[in-house]
């Protein structure tokens, strides 16, 4: 143990000599020998040796062991502020926040004029959320040493976290005035400027940080986020490609690439980017959570669940992991399990707005809980319009659960107004589409194309307005052993769009119909039918619940004259209110204004009436929500008979069918029967009179 007793005694001078020469291993061996043998007999010298061992351990990545030696040094020489200060930083790095703060306080007590001690204490306090005290510590460090650039930079970070962006900018600029080559400060300055909307100056700061240190990946990521915010996605993707090349071992650039691709609705590309991030770090929890979301969007529920569970195993208290797994459990019908996860997230962080919103969606709000007060408080504290939108809808749903319907509608109206302001919706063009379809699909047009389709195929299409009972119908069908519920598949639209692109993308549906002849008809037919088995889960039939396939019913009948077309209908006011009170993932831009919603409903109803006129009688099977609720068995038998299948009693136990359900009615289809929505609109009183007027009621 230690040096050979027959040789020269190890000395601090020798240890420092080796250290300064870069021989960290030799310096560590000598310093350890001093500590172990205490040959000098002087407490301070022994403490200095222990501290040197701690410094070397820290520099070589052995932080936990460094804490042991630094704590020994600080205990042996408690008057040395630097020992306590370095111990503070090492404890912080190992996650011992309380121990770090205690060591930092000991440092400034040992020497109130030691600027580094105040700075390190500030860092430790910052991580505990004690922002005001951290700011005061940085201020004292700067007062003691005005050119302390790291303290200026740290002060900027604390001021930013405190919500004082102008003061943060001043702190970062003060650091850069002292040291222009400081990429971390340039990056931090850029982030504050980006958050203030000053993208030009922010991007310039990020570029400076990158130029000063090419392997510093964070400014690449921040520059990409800035470019995404400016809707300059292609440039953002290029920046992230550079970041991946600069630091292939880091998962973050590929993670942000995946986020950007997902926002561009490029889910497969986003999945590939996540896989790249996980190759860099298989334990990167944000990427696993994002991958779960992407796989959920791709309707690969089992894989999504696996990714979410991996994330939660790595980080049991991670809010995003808890929430994404909860949403997946909701879709599979495990509402109790979902609620448990959302409640666990709230127990970890009562201020978690997303967790609270998800819990409200998963179950009814109870009178004896503080849910409404918490949502009201969150709404009052939130200034951002985008962030307020889901809070309005969640609070509206909570009020509805408690029977406070007038207050609920006030919240739905407030949320819809904010959401509508964010959407681009060309209503005249949208409504004109209905008229263009009616003008083209005349009885003569249909007669000319009779016999062009597939005479045997009987695909199942469920069409109608959102919130018209379509999920209930699909769940009944999916409870039959021969029928798979396919959800909202965009297969038919994609098949038509391929023909659109084949003609150069210059002529779109419905005018595209003038160009389509037998070969194109056959191509659409094959593309659709060939895609169904992948969605069938081994069953014979698949129910396609892409509701707006009502735009294509004329073409669908030409291609599949034996198709099963189920039209879900519901009282127009109930339908409209149910749409208006939901925040849809895919926006449905017409659903956030009473007038636009009513006009869209009129146009849809007119088109469906047109199809009833031009298609052979009995082609479309109407399913009225109110009739289904009144006689569930009769409705179920009609549905199964229309599909050409034998009756199966399992169809009456639709609420027990285990399959992912992605719909605004996600909790309702898990109940034996959901009849309380019939006549729902009558609860809301005069607030919905503009809707009634627009619908002609």
Residues above pLDDT 90, as percent of the chain:
78
Read off the pLDDT band of 2 (50, 70, 90): very low
d(CA 684, CA 401) in angstroms, rounded, equals: 13
C-alpha separations of 195 from 198, 202, 222, 240, 380 in Å: 8, 9, 11, 20, 21
pLDDT, position 11? 77
Instruction: Average the pLDDT over 586-601 and give the result.
Output: 93
Lowest-confidence region among 113-122, 147-156, 164-173, 377-386: 377-386
d(CA 696, CA 663) in angstroms, rounded, equals: 28
Q: From start to end of 523-638, where are the E strands?
A: 541-544, 564-569, 620-624
Judge whether 499 and 520 are in contact, CB under 8 Å.
yes
DSSP notation for 116-130: HHHHHHHHHHHHHT-
Rg (Cα) of the chain, in Å, rounded? 33
Question: For the segment 631-675, what is each residue's pLDDT rounded down to a tens digit?
Answer: 999 999 999 999 999 999 999 887 766 555 555 555 554 455 556
d(CA 656, CA 387) in angstroms, rounded, equals: 35
Q: And the tokens for 75?
A: 């205990």
C-alpha separations of 51 from 23, 25, 112 in Å: 17, 15, 21
Model pTM? 0.81
Does pLDDT of 121 surpass 70?
Answer: yes
pLDDT, position 23? 87
Kindly report each contact of residues 56-60 with a partner whose C-beta sits within 8 Å and lies 24 or more positions away, as own/partner. Answer: 56/19, 56/24, 56/27, 56/28, 56/31, 57/28, 58/86, 58/90, 59/24, 60/24
Give, in degrees to the nearest 5, the angle at Cα 637 between 635 and 643: 105
Cis peptide before 642 (omega within 30 of 0): no
Under DSSP, is residue 230 helix (H, G, I), strand (E, B) or coil?
A: coil
The alpha carbon of residue 183 and the mean position of all alpha carbons in its chain are separated, in whole angstroms, by 30
Question: For the segment 278-314, what is each residue's pLDDT rounded down to a tens digit?
Answer: 999 999 999 999 999 999 988 888 999 999 999 999 9
d(CA 607, CA 601) in angstroms, rounded, equals: 10
Judge whether 464 and 567 are in contact, CB under 8 Å.
yes
DSSP-derived secondary structure letter, 487: -
Judge whether 420 and 603 are in contact, CB under 8 Å.
no
Judge whether 70 and 38 are in contact, CB under 8 Å.
no
Burial (CB count within 10 angstroms: exposed 0-12, middle 13-18, buried 19+), residue 529: middle
- Helix, strand and coil percent figures for the chain, each rounded to 5: 70, 5, 30
Q: What is the dihedral of CA 455, 460, 466, 471, to 10 degrees?
A: 170
Average pLDDT over the chain reads: 91
pLDDT, position 677? 72
Tell me, letter by letter, the H, E, C secondary structure of 60-113.
CCCHHHHHHHHHHHHHHCCCCHHHHHHHHHHHHHCCCHHHHHHHHHHHHHHCCC
d(CA 432, CA 439) in angstroms, rounded, equals: 10
| CATH number, span 427-695 | 3.40.50.300
Read off the pLDDT band of 492 (50, 70, 90): very high
d(CA 646, CA 628) in angstroms, rounded, equals: 19
Specify the pairing of strand 541-544 against strand 460-464.
Answer: parallel
The alpha carbon of residue 532 and the mean position of all alpha carbons in its chain are separated, in whole angstroms, by 29
Question: For the segment 520-555, what is each residue's pLDDT rounded down to a tens digit?
Answer: 999 999 999 999 998 888 899 999 999 999 999 999
Identify the residue whose tokens are 């005479």: 455
Residues 6+ apart with CB under 8 A from 80: 44, 47, 51, 73, 74, 110
Cis peptide before 510 (omega within 30 of 0): yes
d(CA 462, CA 48) in angstroms, rounded, equals: 78
The alpha carbon of residue 224 and the mean position of all alpha carbons in its chain are separated, in whole angstroms, by 18
Q: And the tokens for 172?
A: 């970062």
d(CA 161, CA 170) in angstroms, rounded, equals: 14
Question: For the segment 220-242, what is each residue's pLDDT rounded down to a tens digit?
Answer: 999 999 999 999 999 999 999 99
pLDDT, position 660? 57
Judge whether 137 and 125 are in contact, CB under 8 Å.
yes
Read off the pLDDT band of 9 (50, 70, 90): low
Under DSSP, is residue 455 helix (H, G, I), strand (E, B) or coil?
A: coil
Residues 6+ apart with CB under 8 A from 342: 322, 323, 326, 355, 356, 358, 359, 362
Residues above pLDDT 70, as percent of the chain:
94
Residue spans of the domains in the chain: they are: 364-422, 427-695
C-alpha separations of 613 from 179, 257, 450, 610 in Å: 78, 50, 16, 5
Question: For the segment 433-442, what is each residue's pLDDT rounded down to a tens digit?
Answer: 999 999 999 9
pLDDT, position 505? 84
User: Measured between alpha carbons, how far apart are the two ends of the chain, in Å?
Assistant: 94
d(CA 166, CA 463) in angstroms, rounded, equals: 53
Question: For the segment 37-57, what is each residue's pLDDT rounded down to a tens digit?
Answer: 664 455 456 888 888 888 988
Identify the bridge partners of residue 544 per DSSP, sorted by sequence position.
Answer: 461
The side-by-side arrangement of strands in the sheet containing 620-624 is 483-485, 541-544, 460-464, 564-569, 620-624
d(CA 273, CA 290) in angstroms, rounded, equals: 10
Under DSSP, is residue 643 helix (H, G, I), strand (E, B) or coil?
A: coil
Judge whether 85 and 103 are in contact, CB under 8 Å.
yes
d(CA 160, CA 155) in angstroms, rounded, equals: 9
C-alpha separations of 540 from 162, 478, 481, 537 in Å: 59, 11, 9, 9
| Residue 384 burial (CB count, 10 A) | 7
Instruction: Average the pLDDT over 444-473 and give the result.
Output: 94
- Residue 509 phi/psi, 5-degree rounding, is -65, 135
pLDDT, position 674? 56
Find the length of the chain: 697
Judge whether 657 and 478 are in contact, CB under 8 Å.
yes
């Amino acid at each position: 143990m230690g040096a050979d007793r027959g040789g020269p005694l190890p000395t601090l001078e020798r240890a420092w000599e080796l250290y300064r020469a870069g021989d960290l291993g030799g310096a560590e061996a000598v310093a350890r020998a001093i500590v172990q043998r205490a040959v000098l007999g002087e407490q301070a010298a022994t403490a200095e040796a222990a501290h040197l061992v701690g410094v070397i351990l820290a520099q070589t990545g052995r932080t936990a062991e460094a804490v042991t030696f630094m704590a020994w040094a600080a205990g042996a020489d408690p008057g040395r502020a630097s020992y306590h200060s370095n111990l503070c930083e090492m404890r912080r790095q190992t996650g011992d926040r309380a121990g770090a703060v205690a060591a930092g306080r000991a440092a400034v007590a040992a020497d109130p004029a030691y600027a580094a001690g105040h700075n390190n204490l500030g860092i430790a306090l910052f991580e505990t959320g004690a922002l005001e005290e951290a700011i005061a510590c940085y201020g004292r460090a700067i007062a003691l040493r005005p050119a302390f650039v790291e303290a200026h930079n740290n002060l900027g970070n604390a001021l930013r976290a405190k919500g004082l962006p102008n003061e943060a900018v001043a702190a970062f600029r003060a650091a850069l005035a002292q040291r222009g080559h400081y990429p971390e400060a340039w990056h931090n300055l850029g982030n504050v400027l980006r958050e203030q909307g000053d993208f030009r100056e922010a991007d310039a700061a990020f570029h400076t940080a990158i130029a000063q240190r090419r392997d510093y990946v964070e400014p690449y990521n921040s520059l990409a986020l800035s470019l995404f915010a400016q809707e300059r996605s292609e440039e953002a993707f290029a920046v992230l490609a550079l970041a991946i090349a600069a630091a292939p071992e880091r998962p973050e650039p590929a993670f942000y690439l995946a986020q950007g691709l997902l926002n561009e609705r490029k889910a497969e590309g986003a999945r590939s980017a996540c896989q790249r991030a996980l190759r860099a770090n298989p334990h990167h929890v944000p990427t696993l959570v994002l991958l779960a979301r992407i796989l959920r969007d791709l309707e690969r529920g089992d894989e999504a669940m696996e990714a979410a569970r991996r994330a939660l195993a790595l980080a049991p208290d991670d809010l995003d992991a808890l929430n994404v797994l909860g949403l997946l459990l909701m879709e599979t019908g495990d509402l109790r399990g979902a609620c448990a996860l959302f409640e666990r997230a709230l127990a970890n962080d009562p201020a978690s707005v997303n967790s609270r919103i998800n819990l409200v969606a998963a179950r009814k709000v109870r009178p004896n809980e503080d849910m409404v007060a918490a949502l009201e408080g969150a709404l009052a504290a939130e200034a951002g319009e985008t962030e307020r939108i889901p809070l309005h809808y969640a609070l509206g749903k909570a009020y509805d659960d408690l029977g406070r319907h007038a207050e609920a509608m006030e919240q739905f109206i407030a949320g819809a107004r904010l959401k509508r302001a964010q959407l681009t919706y060309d209503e005249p063009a949208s409504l004109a589409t209905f008229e263009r379809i009616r003008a083209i699909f005349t009885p003569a047009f249909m007669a000319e194309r009779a016999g062009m389709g597939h005479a045997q195929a009987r695909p199942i299409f469920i069409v109608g307005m959102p919130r018209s009972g379509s999920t209930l119908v699909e769940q009944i069908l999916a409870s039959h052993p021969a029928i798979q519920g396919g959800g909202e598949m965009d297969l038919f639209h994609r098949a038509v769009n391929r023909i659109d692109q084949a003609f150069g993308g210059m002529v779109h549906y419905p005018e595209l119909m003038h160009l389509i002849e037998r070969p194109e008809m056959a191509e659409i037919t094959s593309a659709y039918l060939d895609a169904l088995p992948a969605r069938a889960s081994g069953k014979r039939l698949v129910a396609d619940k892409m509701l707006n396939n009502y735009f294509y019913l004329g073409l669908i009948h030409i291609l599949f004259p034996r198709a099963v077309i189920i039209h879900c209908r519901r009282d127009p006011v109930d339908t409209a209110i149910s749409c208006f009170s939901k925040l849809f993932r895919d926006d449905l831009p017409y659903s956030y204004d009473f007038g636009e919603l009513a006009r869209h409903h009129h146009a849809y109803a007119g088109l469906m009436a047109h199809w009833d006129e031009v298609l052979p009688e009995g082609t479309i099977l109407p399913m009225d929500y109110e009739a289904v609720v009144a006689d569930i068995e009769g409705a179920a038998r009609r549905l199964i008979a229309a599909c050409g299948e034998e009756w199966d009693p399992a169809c009456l136990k639709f609420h027990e069918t285990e399959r992912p359900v992605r719909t605004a009615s996600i909790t309702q289809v898990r109940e034996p029967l959901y009849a309380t929505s019939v006549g729902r609109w009558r609860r809301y009183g005069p607030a919905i009179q503009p809707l009634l007027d627009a619908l002609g009621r």
